Chains A and B, each alone.
Chain A
Amino acid sequence: MKEVTATMAGTVLNIFVSNGDSVSINQEVIMIESMKMEIPIESTFEGVVKNLKVNIGDFVNEGDVLVELE
């Protein structure tokens, strides 16, 4: 399973992909707000979005899985 994880703890501000979307490497998939800054989370894999694990407004910890790809 390919997983995109949070690089920092923070609040999910925006989700740029939906289930079934094709994602390329380095594509911004999620925006997290942490320590008053917007931190884009980029996919480290190529694949298709299988499962969005978070909703806008959720608090995530560093290392939490945000998106599963296949």
Chain B
Amino acid sequence: MQRILIANRGEIALRIIKTCTEMGIETIAVYSDADQDMPFVKAATKAVYIGDSPVNKSYLQVENILQAAISERADGIHPGYGFLSENPQFAEKVSEAGITFIGPDSNTIQLMGDKIVSRHVMESAEVPVVPGSSGIKSKEEAISVAYEIGFPVMLKASSGGGGIGMVLCENEETIVKNFDSIRTRAKAYFGSDAVFIEKYIPNARHIEVQIFGDNYGNVIHLFERDCSIQRRHQKVVEESPSPFMSEEGRLKLYETAIKAAKAVNYKNAGTIEFIVDENENFYFLEMNTRLQVEHPVTEQVTGLDLVKWQILVSRGKQLPLSQHEIVSKCHAIEFRLYAEDPVRFLPSPGKITKLKWEDSEGIRVDSGYTENGTVTPFYDPMIAKCIFYGVSRQESLSKAVKFFNHIQIEGIKTNAPLFQKILTSDDFQKGNYTTGFLSKL
């Protein structure tokens, strides 16, 4: 691969361009009307316009993106995260066009993209899954299944993701109230109205394991990331190692993640998400068949470049290192800086009139914007990922405190004040937090 098209935008497009440049690979950016002045468009070797601002007219336009790749003679496509990254038809069409899709096989994407199917796959591989159901056809069935499993339960869209398409049901009435609307929403948002029920696990932590596979059956893990700090089921802070898991629990988690990845003959970068209860019992939640937003946390603790590994594996190379050569050397934590009201969590698009932070050792900022850039209402509101790392958790946290006390952002509202609040919380400092942390802060 010598010319890679990046079917994405913002910080992740820049992130991929960086590694490609280091590897001597040319890059092709694709962009919409709203994004024409974005830094990633300028950073790529070449940029191709693909359509209007709304995502279904640009970044989800399979044909336009394929056309751009073909006319620019791209020999690889990196999908980034979101958009088409977990769309099996896209992966298939890329391969059919004779272009390398930088990710797993399309049938693996398909299998893991359907939550009901992936639960079955994992169960038969003896990976523990959250007690739950298969596909549910009616309100009545949902209620009877919920009584069988025991309330509270989560009602989920099988094709859901990114925190959209799930609702906590504490009793029969909440199921009645939400059943139709979750199906309508799932249909509108994901194109499928299949739903299922899972037992709700209280005081849970959301801990995931980064895994990597190659075309020769090798699968390794790259440790865990604790992503329990969430708002509306969307991650806000991620760290590694998890401050909660014991050494023994951690090893069991890695072992299970590898078992899960091997069960689907996994190739390239992937993440197994687990929900972990108070007693360190853990259950498979879902597998993300792509590079994660929070991959820099893993890169900082291991010192590895995951995008480079993705490209190497896609070229048919073996994994560059074996399990015993991969070490977690430090602690790292990432904060997702969003253009949003820190109190009401509503998006806050607009022009960023000032964007300044202090760069120093142990700080990595993956930003999609520069000063005077505009956050438009068409895409995810993330402006930048701020990653802090040090020999201890305490060291990373003190760097984060200093950083957010000094960062200057004007023109838009951001959630930086929320980070200051999180960082000064006693429970957070002690590593004592679950997915309910933000709603009680």
Contacts and interface: CB of A to CB of B under 8 A. Distances in A.
Contact of A56 (B188, B346, B347, B379): B188
Contact of B164 (A8, A12, A36, A59): A36
Interface string B330-345: 0000000001100001
A35 B381 contact: yes
Nearest to B56: A59
A36 B189 CA distance: 10
A14 B188 contact: yes
Interface in A23-70: 31, 33-39, 56-57, 59, 62
Contacts of B379: 35
Interface of A is mostly: strand
Contact of B181 (A8, A14, A39): A14
Nearest to A38: B164
Instruction: Give the bracket for the number of chain B residues in contact with chain A.
Output: 20 to 34
B324 to A, nearest CB: 39
A37 B189 contact: no
Q: Which of A14, A36, A57, A59 has the most CB of B within 10 A?
A: A36
Contacts of B380: 35-36
Given A8-B349, A12-B188, A13-B188, 10 more contacts: A14-B181, A31-B185, A35-B349, A35-B378, A35-B380, A36-B234, A36-B381, A37-B381, A38-B164, A57-B188
26 contacts: A8-B347, A9-B377, A9-B378, A10-B377, A12-B188, A13-B189, A14-B181, A14-B184, A14-B185, A14-B188, A31-B185, A35-B340, A35-B347, A35-B349, A35-B377, A35-B379, A35-B380, A35-B381, A36-B162, A36-B234, A36-B381, A37-B340, A37-B345, A37-B347, A39-B346, A59-B54
